[in-house]
Each structure stands twice: as structure tokens, then as C-alpha cells.
A and B are shown apart, each in its own frame.
Chain A
Amino acid sequence: MEVLKIATAGSVDDGKSTLIGRLLYDTKSLTSDKLEAIERSSKQKGYDYLDFSLATDGLVAEREQGITIDVAHIYFSTATKSYIIADTPGHVEYTRNMVTGASTSQVAIILIDARHGVIEQTYRHFFINNLLRVKDVIVAVNKMDLVDFSEERYNEIKNEFQKLVEKSDYEDQNITFIPVSALKGDNVVDKSKIMSWYSGNTLLEHLEKIDTADIYNRGKARFPVQYVIRPKTEEYHDYRGYAGKVYGGSISVGDEVIVLPSETKTKVKEIYFYDKKYETAARRSSVTLTLENDVNVSRGDMIVKVGELPKVEKTLTATISWMDAKQLVPGSKYVLQHGVNKVLAKVSAINNKINPDYSGIETGVTGLQMNDIASVSFQLNKPIFFDAFKEHRTNGAFILIDPQSNSTAGVGFIE
């Protein structure tokens, strides 16, 4: 079964939860006990329609306040695909959750309230999906029922959004516009009878047509070693297997490879997946490699193909999305986790703060607050093996861990 991960973004009242609820309802993914709970609760509150947002709002605090606080994961499937929706909140103060949701998604749905059109929040949502290189963006113009299903209004919003797209530097991003009414069910799963002027796909039709094999950005093959397998049994006496996940491109038996940081050249001898040997490991598969030569490889090392070397450096500059209450200031020290590799990092400079609404940059910034996005330079205690994020969505990203609190304080996209 193919799996597609989707991140959603919208402002507080754009009807995001209603859209997801509608998607679940029309694909018959809501079970009868859940449906009953929704009916019961909607009635209690005196609504004359089904309050689908209850299908997704999980925690007690949310039910009390009627808002979504954290990232929630919602699952549904059709005959062809399994879908995982990361429902992320849209308030200004929750940029960190939106970045988190987008980092594991290949598709993003940006909601726009047809009455309000493109607002400052929309800029922010598009900026984040741009920054994170989310390949497929769906702009769902919602609440069309409240603007009389007007084609003119829809086109106006589309044109406003196009101006935003012109500011983007990510040319491969696919952007699709769909006019919907989540509350009434128009163009979510079923085609709208009223908006006959719209000839495109419904939201679900569009999702069903996305090729999951192609949605991951391609790059050079990178194999970060996660774990060394040494069984020490009679049968596998000298076995040394390097366990990890293949990113960017595939790796085959016989490939000439270089192990970093030792820069030892060798060849891939075998590829194991469980108890079977294979000729090729496709990208994103979790396999175990053995090598021709007896080289010293440990966790955090990286196996790459000859002629496809990443950068190996002790300094780097990255766009940081800050997620911690404690400020990032020049001189602060963090554990930098790049894939499965950990090094120590010191902030050498905050170059500038980037306004996530495309309004430019601010210089002379002395510290980063939670939800800030900025260009920051670091000095590392050991070199890491990286690519620019724009060229490699996995090998160009890292997280910063606060050594005192152990919290994940920020994420970096290497420039």
C-alpha cells in the first residue's frame, strides 16, 4: 500500500478540522461509534449541522477551548492509498508545529477562507511550505457557500495567491487551486453540483492521482550508518553489517563507495533486508550493507558513491526555525543532530532574521525567540557530511538540542 503524508495549514477559523472531518466522512472512514460521538456532541452544543471538528480535536484542553493545540495525526485510506494527515494549528504563535508537520509531509493543504481571501497568515503558510520544500501544495479555497459559490471571487483569490507564488524560489513545486465547501461537501470528495464552472479535480481526486514514488525529492544517494550489526555466532562469525536507511538515490551491490569521515574507498558486497539478499536498495528502504574491505565503520559515519561526495566541513550557515522558549544568542552551544550523527555546535553569528511573510530581512538581531526564522552561522567541533537543503531534503537538515533541557530547540536547513 502506498502511503502519502499530508500537512494542513490554515488560520483559526478557516475550517481545517471541518475539512478533515468531511474527508473522513465522505470516504466512509469514520466508524459508527465515532460518528455517534460526533452526533451526540453536536446536538448537545445545539448545532444544526455535524461538527466534524470533533473528529480531530483530541486533548481535553482543546475540547475546552475549541481549538487545535498540537500536531495530531489522522488516518484514512482508499482502495489505492493510505493517507496520514498531520493536522497542525494555524495561529501565529505555532509556527513550530507547522514546520514540524511539513517536515514529514510530501503534500500540503493551505486553507483560505473565501470571504477573507489571501491574508498575512496565508503568506506564512506558503513561506513555510516553500522553505521546507514540500513538493505538492493544494490551495483549498474554503467556505465557497458563504460567497455564493462565486467563480469571480475564486479567481480573485487565485490571482492574489499567484502573486505570492512569483516570490517563491522553488520552481519544482506543484500548486493546485480547488474551490471547496467543507461544511456542505462540495469538491472535497464529490464534485460540486453548484460550482459547475470548476472543471478540475476534487481534493480527493487530486490526492489519488499523486505518484508517491515520485513525490520525494531526488538527490544523490546517502547512507548514514545507524547501527553496526555483529552477531558473533558460529554461522556469522566475521559478519559486520551496517544498518541504515538509504536517502536520495538507490544503492546497488558492486557500487564503488567512500566511507566518511575516514575516506576509505571500497565496494558494496551485499545488501540484506531481513534474511534475504538483494541486488539494489531503493531510496527510503531500511537495509543492511556489507562491504568488500574490512574497514572501520561506526554509527554516524556515512557511505556515499564515488564521485558524489557531500560537503565535509566544520562550519556552516543554515536557515533556522527556532522552537524553544529559551533564546538562541551568539555564543550559545548546542548538540547538533544531523540525521543520526551528533556533534557540538556553537553559534558564531546571527546573520539576519527572515520575515516569513516575504517582507524581507531584519539585520542587527541579537537573539532568536520561539517561532523566529533566521540565517545563523555555526562552528562545529567535528566536520559533518552534508548537502544544501535545496539539493537534499534529508542530508541538508539538522536539529539543535539544548544540552541543559535536552529539548529539541530548533531545526536547521543548510544554505
Chain B
Amino acid sequence: MTETVQINALENEAIYIFREVAAQFEKPVLLFSGGKDSITLVRLAQKAFHPAKIPFPLMHIDTGHNFPETIEFRDRLVEELGLELIVRNVQDSIDQGKVKEESGRYSSRNMLQTTTLLDAIEEFKFDACIGGARRDEEKARAKERIFSVRDDFGQWDERNQRPELFDMLNGEIDFGQNVRVFPISNWTELDVWTYIEREVLEIPSIYFAHKREVFLRDGLIWSASEHVYRDEEEEVEERMVRFRTVGDMSCTAAVDSYATTISKVVEEIRDSSISERGARIDDKRSEAAMEERKQQGYF
């Protein structure tokens, strides 16, 4: 026992943020998608509060169009770590007539999630929602704060953000407002993968190269599934692919890959010349797609 705690700047920063959330808020929740970023968040939260349990629940907004591998993984992780999981379904919002299912070639439930999320925040009176968004992902996210205040309608006002100075996080809010918290704001995709490798974290199998039924559209590789609209002339083929993000099947494209282990994935990311969100169909809608969704209350 002669060691010194090694300084891992990003990990230390994230742990500090988690502790600020637990101290400053009454009802925090960790938004969990089953993806690599939220898996990383869970490990960081464990580290922040050990030997106590993580002092808040996880919540998944389930579109019903997830990859089955992700859902199976989610349930196993929650069980193994003894965590509390809340699931709210986009299907319920559709059934209640609050949102309308999109139709056509590019239909997706991605946009519909926002309503279900905002309803759940109100239902449970959550005052802090912890998410795995990173500033390197997308240009609108590059301006996001670590503590990002949302008004009573869950909306983001990017012109009126609080300055964040030194380590000091201002979590003062009025009743009805909530704060979105991003502990891994300063991590890059490669940082996340390197961390998963170092911590030997388990992740859903779709992150590794596997054979899958896919079809090509607009230069992207789409999953062939009942949840994804496909024209008759769009031919299905089998390909070795993996996914870099785990959004819905309808908005997440695959990439060609032979990376079957974490270390091969890390190597691939290091050499990759396409950005992570380059395979996100939801971002391709327009130059400002993310910014517009964020203003409405998206993750």
C-alpha cells in the first residue's frame, strides 16, 4: 500500500461532477440507453460513491425499436449491480395520442423520445438528469455546459447559458426547472473506448463485428428489420459490421468492421476517418438538426 492515486484528469473530473449532483439535487436520475457512454457513466458513479450504492435510479426511454441485444444487456447489468431501473415507453406516448408515429422512408421514433422523456421527468419530479453526451460528438453539443439548465418546458436556451468557472458548478434552480448534467462532457469517443478497455467493462454485443442482414441507402449501412422502412428495390445482404452508437435501429447505421474485441475496436477508432455521429441518420436531416432537437428538450 505505498501507491499514490494516479491522476486521470477526465476520470477525476467526472467523479467530482457526480458528487456535486448527489449533493446539490433532491431527485437525480441517470439517463441510461445501454450504450457505451451510459455504461461508462455507471462505472464512474460506482467509483464516486463506493462503498455506498449509487444514490439515484437509472431511467431508460425505450422507443420499442432498440436492438434486442441492448435491452438484454441493460436488464443483466441492472440485475448484477443491484441498481434501480425505471423504463418509460414511447409506445405509451403514441397510444395516449401525445405524439404521432412518423411514416415513410426515413421514419424514426428518435424525435418522439423527447415527449416521453419530458413526461417522465415531470412524473417523477426529477431535478437533475445525468446524460452521457460529449462535446466532441456534434457541433451544437460543443457549447453545452456541464450543468445545463432546462426551463419548465424542458427547453435549452443556448444563448443564455450560465458561465462555468474553475470547478464550480451552479445547480441553483427554481421549482419545476431541471438540470441536465454531462459528467463526460470532455471525453472523446477514443477516451470512452480506452476507459472501457482499461476497466474491462462489459458492453452490448452489437459494438463488436458480427454478421448482420443489412441494406445500403445514401451510402450508409442500414439494419434490415421490421422497424426500418425499406423499399422493395433495396436489397438485403449479409455483411460483417459493427455499430459505433446504439440508437434506434431506424436511426443508427452500421460500419464495415472486423473488430471482434475491445482492443481491435480501440485500434479501429484510432485509425478511423469518419466521425462517430457520421453514422447517425438523425443528424443528417439538416445542418442544425441536433441544435433544434436540443432546444426542444432532447437528450
In contact, B51 and A286 (Cβ under 8 angstroms):
no
A84 at the interface (CB under 8 A from B): yes
Contact pick for B135, options A73, A97, A235, A241, CB 8 Å: A73
Question: Which residues of the other chain, B, contact A272 by a CB distance below 8 angstroms?
Answer: 50
Contact pick for A401, options B20, B50, B170, CB 8 Å: B170
In contact, B170 and A399 (Cβ under 8 angstroms):
yes
Among the 9-residue stretches A9-17, A59-67, A114-122, A308-316, the one with 4 or more Cβ atoms under 8 Å from chain B is A59-67
In contact, A285 and B165 (Cβ under 8 angstroms):
no
CB of B21 to closest CB in A, whole Å: 10
A222→B54 CA distance, assembly (Å): 26
B153 at the interface (CB under 8 A from A): no
Could you tell me which residues of chain A, from 51 to 102, have a CB within 8 Å of some CB in chain B? Answer: 56-61, 63, 69-75, 77, 82, 84, 96-97, 99-100
Q: Give the number of chain A interface residues (Cβ < 8 Å).
A: 79
Could you tell me which residues of chain A, from 1 to 36, have a CB within 8 Å of some CB in chain B? Answer: 1-3, 31-34
Among the 9-residue stretches A141-149, A182-190, A200-208, A225-233, the one with 4 or more Cβ atoms under 8 Å from chain B is A225-233
Contact with B along A208-240 (1 / 0, CB 8 A): 000001000000000000110111110110010
Question: Which residues of the other chain, B, contact A285 by a CB distance below 8 angstroms?
Answer: 5-7, 12
Contact pick for A408, options B2, B48, B143, B170, CB 8 Å: B170
In contact, B135 and A408 (Cβ under 8 angstroms):
no
Among the 9-residue stretches B60-68, B101-109, B188-196, the one with 4 or more Cβ atoms under 8 Å from chain A is B188-196
Contact pick for A243, options B3, B48, B191, CB 8 Å: B48
Contact pick for A103, options B136, B158, B166, B186, CB 8 Å: B166
Among the 9-residue stretches A160-168, A276-284, A373-381, the one with 4 or more Cβ atoms under 8 Å from chain B is A276-284
A319 at the interface (CB under 8 A from B): no
Known: A230-B52, A281-B4. A99 touches B165 (CB 8 A): yes
Contact pick for B190, options A77, A232, A278, A335, CB 8 Å: A77
In contact, B142 and A58 (Cβ under 8 angstroms):
yes
Closest A residue, CB atoms, query B173: A406
Question: Which residues of the other chain, A, contact B162 by a CB distance below 8 angstroms?
Answer: 407-408
B296 at the interface (CB under 8 A from A): no
Closest A residue, CB atoms, query B185: A73
Closest B residue, CB atoms, query A252: B4
Question: Which residues of the other chain, A, contact B16 by a CB distance below 8 angstroms?
Answer: 226, 245, 286
In contact, B275 and A397 (Cβ under 8 angstroms):
no
Question: Which residues of the other chain, A, contact B49 by a CB distance below 8 angstroms?
Answer: 227, 229, 243
B10 at the interface (CB under 8 A from A): yes
In contact, B165 and A31 (Cβ under 8 angstroms):
no
A243→B45 CA distance, assembly (Å): 13
A103→B168 CA distance, assembly (Å): 10
A249→B147 CA distance, assembly (Å): 27
CB of B216 to closest CB in A, whole Å: 17
CB of B260 to closest CB in A, whole Å: 23
Known: A275-B50, A399-B168. A227 touches B135 (CB 8 A): no
Contact pick for A340, options B23, B48, B159, B188, CB 8 Å: B23
In contact, A31 and B52 (Cβ under 8 angstroms):
no
A158 at the interface (CB under 8 A from B): no
In contact, B274 and A279 (Cβ under 8 angstroms):
no
In contact, B47 and A59 (Cβ under 8 angstroms):
no
B264 at the interface (CB under 8 A from A): no
A310→B136 CA distance, assembly (Å): 39
Contact pick for A394, options B10, B52, B167, B287, CB 8 Å: B167
Question: Which residues of the other chain, A, contact B140 by a CB distance below 8 angstroms?
Answer: 58-59
In contact, A406 and B166 (Cβ under 8 angstroms):
no
Question: Which residues of the other chain, B, contact A233 by a CB distance below 8 angstroms?
Answer: 51-52
In contact, A401 and B172 (Cβ under 8 angstroms):
yes
Could you tell me which residues of chain B, from 124 to 182, have a CB within 8 Å of some CB in chain A? Answer: 135-136, 139-140, 142-143, 149, 158-159, 161-168, 170, 172-174
Closest B residue, CB atoms, query A226: B19
Contact pick for A286, options B2, B19, B22, B291, CB 8 Å: B19
**What would 10 more interface pairs be, CB under 8 Å, given A71-B163, A280-B4?**
A31-B278, A56-B142, A77-B190, A82-B10, A99-B165, A227-B23, A241-B51, A286-B16, A339-B168, A406-B172
What are 25 residue pairs bridging A and B, where the CB atoms are less than 8 Å apart in the complex?
A1-B191, A31-B274, A59-B139, A59-B143, A70-B159, A70-B161, A73-B136, A73-B143, A75-B136, A84-B186, A226-B20, A229-B50, A239-B51, A279-B4, A285-B5, A285-B12, A286-B13, A335-B172, A340-B23, A398-B168, A401-B170, A406-B149, A408-B162, A408-B165, A411-B165
Interface residues of B (CB under 8 A from A): 1-7, 9-13, 15-16, 19-20, 22-23, 46-53, 135-136, 139-140, 142-143, 149, 158-159, 161-168, 170, 172-174, 185-186, 188, 190-191, 194, 272-275, 278, 287-288, 291
